[in-house]
Amino acid sequence: MATPGALRRTYTRIASHAPWSAWAWRNTAFATAAIPPALPLLLGAAALVALPGHSALPLLLVLALRPLLTLLQRSRFRTLLGLDVPPVVHEHRWATVRGLAERLRSESTWRQYGYHLLVSPLTAAGAAALVLTWAGGAAGACVYAWYWLLPSDGELPSPGWTAQYDAITGLGVLALLAAPWLAAALTRIDATAAAALLGPNRARELERRVEDLAESRAGVLDAADLERRRIERDLHDGAQQRLVSLAMNLGIARATLTDLPPEARAVIDEAHREAKEAIEELGDLVRGLHPAVLEDRGLDAALSGIAARAPLPVELTVDLPRRPGSTVEAVAYFVVSEALANVAKHARARRCSVHVGGVADGRRGGDLLRVVVTDDGVGGADPAGGTGLTGLRKRVGSVDGTILINSPFGGPTTVTVELPCGL
């Protein structure tokens, strides 16, 4: 047995789709509004019947009125249905030769013609049938009222007239119940066709968005790289130079002030040592941000410095046919620096090799910068077990690169990174 709540919901749903509901009248108004934009084609068809020699007249009408018809259809969808069909953006104005040529070559123009020549007449015919359904249903449902309201000529009705009127009334009620669903079907078909034909091509639009996002991301990466360079210059030319000057003054004081008490000399010695350690830490920080040698002399010289400072022997090979972009260089430098730091901390390796070279990208076209770091350590590197490899993945993914880590237990560990040089 149905509960009162279920009955109430069922009644609410039936009432919301009844012939007198706002849903029914909104769809009916939208569907019938498709008739006026189809009138040019209907007039052209009538002229074709009246003037058989002018067979191109309907087509010429639609060709000439296509921009206006498209504007009217977009306004109809936006005003009556709340559906925004985005316009097709062209580079040149239509009044110029380039603009006309661009529109003739654009597939969106021919899709709009397809809508106006095929979909619009069909929806207009469906709207006319919908109007007849509403009118016929209303007239049939009220046939008894027409019988009593219209004047009689004094003749008696034919036998069985009540059965005929009952059938007409039933058909009229059925037509009134079916009209909202017919209006909804016309609305759904028209909206689907308009989204596919009147607006821009979705695949092309997605491609354009991907290109825009790629350009925006490249701009953000370049801006971040420039900001790192600015910070590196500020630290190198500002704070680091002041620390160097402080260490020099402390060294001079320690060498010249020989008659100071032992406690004062101990304080100077401690300050001098702390200043030199701060200089070293600041130098490491500056090199981690963006080393000056990377910008001045390229990836080979910068990686040579990393390999020379590593606590284990590193065999470095750099074979690049041309210098990649600054952003890709910075990512490759970070990859090698972080990989060697992980090897020194966790791998317990005796040797390590780094190979940097350029390869062709067979899938996407262009060139790739491939970085391969191999060590003879204990292996077992897990990207989910620490932040070092996770940071590598994020940094490589920021430029659409790929990273592959092969690290079985017992070693060796091989980290392969491929970066697109076209960024």
User: Which pLDDT score, from 0 to 100, does residue 331 have?
Assistant: 84
User: Which pLDDT score, from 0 to 100, does residue 76 have?
Assistant: 87
Cα pseudo-dihedral 251, 256, 258, 263, rounded to 10:
-30
User: Which pLDDT score, from 0 to 100, does residue 215 have?
Assistant: 66
User: Which pLDDT score, from 0 to 100, does residue 79 have?
Assistant: 86
User: Which pLDDT score, from 0 to 100, does residue 355 have?
Assistant: 92
Answer whether 177's CB lies under 8 Å from 136's CB: no
User: Which pLDDT score, from 0 to 100, does residue 236 have?
Assistant: 60
**DSSP string over 109-140:** HHHHHHIIIIIHHHHHHHHHHHHHHHHHHHHH
- In a 13 Å sphere around the CA of 210, the CA atoms on its Cβ side amount to 7
Identify the helix (H) or strand (E) that includes residue 414.
strand 413-420
Q: What is residue 315's DSSP assignment? A: E
Within 8 A by CB and 6+ apart from 181, the residues are 17
Other beta carbons less than 10 A from residue 340's beta carbon: 23
The tens-digit pLDDT sequence of the chain (423 residues) is: 456 655 566 556 656 667 778 888 888 888 888 888 887 777 666 666 666 555 555 556 556 667 788 888 888 888 888 887 777 766 656 656 566 666 667 777 788 888 888 888 889 989 999 999 888 888 888 877 777 776 665 555 666 667 777 788 888 888 888 888 999 999 999 888 888 888 776 666 676 677 666 666 666 666 666 666 666 666 666 666 777 777 787 777 777 777 777 777 777 777 777 777 777 776 666 655 566 677 778 888 888 888 888 888 889 888 888 888 777 888 888 888 888 888 888 888 888 999 988 776 545 545 788 899 999 888 887 766 655 677 788 778 877 788 888 888 887 888 898 888 764
**Residue that is written with structure tokens 């509960």 in the block:** 3
What is the distance between the terminal CA atoms of the chain, rounded to a whole angstrom? 67
Other beta carbons less than 10 A from residue 250's beta carbon: 20
User: Which pLDDT score, from 0 to 100, does residue 222 have?
Assistant: 64
DSSP bridge partners of 403? 417
